[in-house]
Amino acid sequence: MRIDVVSIFPEYLAALDLSLIGKARREKLLDLNVHDLRDYTHDRHRTVDDTPYGGGAGMVMKPEPWGAALARIATESPVSNAPLGDKPILIVPSPAGAVFDQEMAYELAEAQHLAFACGRYEGIDERVLEYASEAFDVRPVSIGDYVLNGGEVAVLAMVEAIGRLIPGVIGNPESLIEESHSDGLLEYPVYTKPGTWEGREVPEVLLSGNHGKIARFRRNKQLERTATRRPDLIVQLDASTLNRHDRDT
């Protein structure tokens, strides 16, 4: 997968050189390119923003640098941008976007080419998204109902969530199976040695070796946690998921 990120703070994305994503880049599982938007300006001050038409506080990101940066990325795309061909996906982190979730992460992990546009200030001139939709499948995406100062933090979160789903990026693909949201429920509590710590014991059932009992314990913990912490997820579950622990007996 090729990933391009455009930002006025490219150093913000240095964290993507670390850990598993960094390893995936070194192993050529991910071709990640970070672009400085200011490299696509032509004035002495490398200006990227200006005052908003219609008035209001703050500044808006100018369209010209974005247009040049995105045109360059589209021409370098490994995905044919013929009208009938797949288009690269341009993700624009925004409080006004569709909510990013594990389902979207799996969908985006299938893409051959993802580009991320990091907005700052009050946002990017809307004409940029219209212009970009010729060469890209443009997706405003929110990572949550709060406002950040820019898209870079959202890109770090999304690249990690997407990157870890790409085959070969994490060592043991089994660990993707039982994690939170993989089956619509939150994950169960985990424990490791020592068996007693600060006077606190590991739940006895986990030491029993009885795999049926352990599976039921874990399932019940998942249901209990989801019901108390995320009741909104419970309503989305179908009966088979809720009753699955019965079949484990």
Which residue number, 54 or 167, has a Cβ lying nearer to ligand JET?
Answer: 54
Identity of the residue, 132 or 186, whose beta carbon is nearer to ligand JET in the bound complex: 132
Please say which residue, 128 or 223, places its beta carbon nearer to ligand JET: 128
Residue 63 binds to ligand JET (criterion: CB under 6 A)? no
How far apart CA 9 and CA 1 sit, in angstroms, is: 23
Nearest to residue 220, comparing CAs of 249, 177, 191?
249
CB closer to ligand JET out of 22 and 52: 52
| Residue nearest ligand JET, Cβ-based | 119
Rounded Cα gap, residues 5 and 77, in angstroms: 13
Shortest distance (Å) from residue 187 CB to ligand JET:
23
Give min distance, CB of 228 to ligand JET, in A: 25
**Which residue in the set 10, 52, 95, 184 belongs to the binding site for ligand JET (CB under 6 A)?**
95
| 3-state secondary structure labels for all residues of the chain | CEEEEEECCHHHHHHHHCHHHHHHHHCCCCEEEEEEHHHHCCCCCCCCEECCCCCCCCCEECHHHHHHHHHHHHHCCCCCCCCCCCCCEEEEEEEEEEECCHHHHHHHHCCCEEEEECCECCCECHHHHHHHCCCCEEEEEECCCCCCCECHHHHHHHHHHHHCCCCCCCCCHHHHCCCCCCCCCCCCCCCCCCCEECCEECCHHHHCCCHHHHHHHHHHHHHHHHHHHCHHHHCCCCHHHHHHHHHCC
Query: Mask: binding to ligand JET, 107-126, rule CB under 6 A, as x and -?
Result: ------------xx--xx--
Q: Which of 148, 206, 215, 242 binds ligand JET (CB under 6 A)?
A: 148
Minimum Å gap between C-beta 152 and ligand JET is 8
For residue 65, state whether it binds ligand JET (rule: CB under 6 A). Answer: no
Does position 140 interact with ligand JET (CB under 6 A)? The reply is yes
- The single residue among 92, 108, 155, 185 that binds ligand JET, judged by CB under 6 A, is 92
Nearest approach, Cβ of residue 60 and ligand JET (Å): 8
Among 57, 82, 147, 190, binds ligand JET (CB under 6 A): 147
- Answer yes or no whether residue 58 interacts with ligand JET by CB under 6 A: no
The Cα–Cα gap between 127 and 132 comes to: 8
Report the interface residues with ligand JET, using CB under 6 A.
Answer: 92-95, 119-120, 123-124, 129, 140, 142-144, 146-148, 150-151, 154
